[in-house]
Structure 1
Amino acid sequence: MNQDPFYSSGTTDEISKKILGMLLTYDSPKGMVGGRIVETEAYMGQQDSAAHAFKGRRTPSNDPLYGPPGTVYIYSIHGRYLLDVAAQEKDVPQGILIRAIEPTIGLSIMEANRTKHGVDLTNGPGKLMEAFGIADKKMNMEIFGDSKLDIHQDDKKIPAQIEESNRIGVANQGSWATKPLRYFVKGNPYVSGIRKRDFDKENHGWR
């Protein structure tokens, strides 16, 4: 991932929208897997009561957030691993959680990893990591593109419409919990929690 144009302008919430439609890939031991990013959440650092770096909190666990833009930040919640990318300059601990992808590469590998098919394969942050076969934090502090993980900004589909909502699973995290910092491709079946009646069955929410 060429960092400069990707991060040269924009707040973390703007970048969270910008990467929707970009191709996320992982060169896994079983082969290449990946798909289009369809859902993200922005975490705005020290000011954000739902963020891991709220009030400047810094631990060995969240240290990748303080890395340069494009740093891989993998963390675990309730035994599931989640994938985050540091979004601002070094020591500005703002990140983007990649919540869901529409799978396009290595489908059979991902289905074997999860023993699931259809939208349930990658329609959530823990699900996509399980589909990728990532169950540790060994890639933390690596840079997307220099890592086996990559976000291909030059390979992007354009969403017909981007929806916003409050973030998921942070309801008890203070005043920022209800801010509309979750972004997703409207109508894409792989967005977590989307109702079947809201599926765009023809175009999956792409232009």
Structure 2
Amino acid sequence: MFIFHDKEPMNKSFYHQPTLELAKGMLGCLLIKETSDGIAAGFIVETEAYMGPLDKAAHSFNNRRTKRTEIMFGQPGLAYTHTMHTHCLINIVSGNAGVPESVLIRGIEPYTGQELIASRRPKVKNERQWTNGPGKLTKALGITMEDYGHPLDQSPLWITSGWTVSSDMIMAGPRIGIGNSGEAKDYPWRFWIKGNPYVSK
């Protein structure tokens, strides 16, 4: 098992939490990607929960099962990467097997590999703009569609423990960019660390 700064990946049991709890529990964890260019990593500061069959904003609403969503029906703790416009986004499969729920990672605070991140985001002059959005952070870390289905307790893409985030530092509100999802657009299923500059909005 690859060790990063003496920390092992989160145990698979971590991902067996209820999805809303996982979305909050992931805050402060360290997301790491190893590529041939090097390692880049950042602390997760913003997430969104998608509650599957009953959530009109979820790709798997009504148990929609397609080539894209197939991995969501698998075991929790797998990477669900998908494209939106020209961007690759990363979700973490959650819920029990057969229950297609997930947690989108919306923002991270860079921890290591800043030079590598800067080279991947050459037009961005403000470091806060490197990773303060779901499509930005995947570019910064080198996460691609090739990571689809990857188990997040193994290199080259994994999550390990990081900061301890107290409950009073966790904020909640409506998710972003889902205006066409009826009442689901108002569900307070976006979570972020209060005051962190790398939160998307």
In structure 1, the partner of 2:87 is 80
Identify the match of residue 179 of structure 1 among 184, 187, 196: 187
Q: CA RMSD in A?
A: 1.3
User: Match of 2:160?
Assistant: 152
Q: Give the C-alpha shift of residue 175 in structure 1.
A: 1.9
Matched, 1:7 2:15: yes
CA shift at 1:146, angstroms? 2.1
SS at match of 1:20: coil
Aligned to 2:4: none
The runs of at least 4 aligned residues of structure 1 exceeding 6 Å deviation read none
Equivalent pair of 1:36/1:102 in contact (CA under 8 Å): yes
Contact 1:139–1:147 under 8 Å retained in 2: no
Identical counterparts, % of pairs? 39
Paired position in structure 2 for 1:110: 117
Task: Give the Cα separation in 1 of the matches to 2:83 and 2:61.
Answer: 18
| Structure 1 CA distance for aligned equivalents of residues 195 and 180 of structure 2 | 28
2: CA distance, partners of 1:82 / 1:29: 21
Size of the alignment, in residue pairs? 189
3-state DSSP of counterpart to 1:24:
strand
TM norm structure 1: 0.87
**Where does the alignment leave 5 or more consecutive residues of structure 2 unmatched?**
1-9
Aligned partner letter, 1:179: Y
1:118-154 CA deviation, whole Å, 9 max, x = no partner? 10010000000111123x411211200224111103x
Counterpart position of 1:123: 132
> Do structure 1's residue 133 and structure 2's residue 142 form an aligned pair?
yes
- CA shift digits 1:27-66 (9 cap, x unpaired): 1221110110000000000000000000000101111111
Name the TM-score, length of structure 2 as normaliser: 0.90
Distance of 1:114 and 1:31 partners within structure 2: 15
